[in-house]
Amino acid sequence: MNKLTIKTFALLCCLMFSAGLVSAQTTSTDENAEAVAGAMAALDDFMRTFNDRDMEAWAATLNYPHVRFASGTVTVWQSAEEFAQQPTFERLTATGWDHSAWLSREPVLVSSGKVHINTVFQRYNSSNEPIGTYESLYIVTRDAQGKWGTQARSSLAP
């Protein structure tokens, strides 16, 4: 091969490689956007059912086994039935809690079946005054049936 042919060959290889990257990124970006949308919708349902104080509906927003890291402990629930038996709302209302809201949610690791989301949420009393602000990491997964749900939470909330 002469120099012109080598340069042409190198240019063609670069163009083909670049086109392959753009195509792969487009597919990956589309899949990632769908994953983030599914995970965010799952977190919307999580917060809505939590604020409704509906243990069964809230438990249905999770994927199992479900893991929570908080207050120096790790808790694992194997099923929605097991999760729904805990006295979450009795404990929270005793602290003055009335409802919670997301302040921020930022996807930091995304694949087609799992999204890690850095969150900040706030707890409020019945006068809508903040009583606590907490950072947390939620891992939202898509199960074998295609349902997005929170699989794990690591929170600085008590």
Model confidence, pTM: 0.80
Residue 65, preceding peptide bond in cis (omega within 30° of 0): yes
| CATH code: domain of residue 22 | 3.10.450.50
H/E run at residue 154:
strand 148-155
Identify the pLDDT of residue 24.
39
Number of domains in the chain: 1
Mean pLDDT by 10 residues, the chain (158 residues): 37 35 52 96 98 98 97 96 95 96 98 97 98 97 97 93
- Whether the CB-CB separation of 65 and 149 falls below 8 Å is answered with no
Instruction: Check: CB of residue 136 under 8 Å from CB of residue 154.
Output: yes
3-state helix, strand, coil in the chain (%, to 5): 40, 35, 20
Burial zone of 114 (CB within 10 Å; 0-12 exposed, 13-18 middle, 19+ buried): middle
Domain range holding 134? 3-155
Distance, CA of 92 to CA of 152 (rounded, Å): 20
For residue range 80-99, what is the model confidence (pLDDT) as tens digits? 999 999 999 999 999 999 99
Instruction: Report the chain's mean pLDDT, rounded to a whole number.
Output: 86
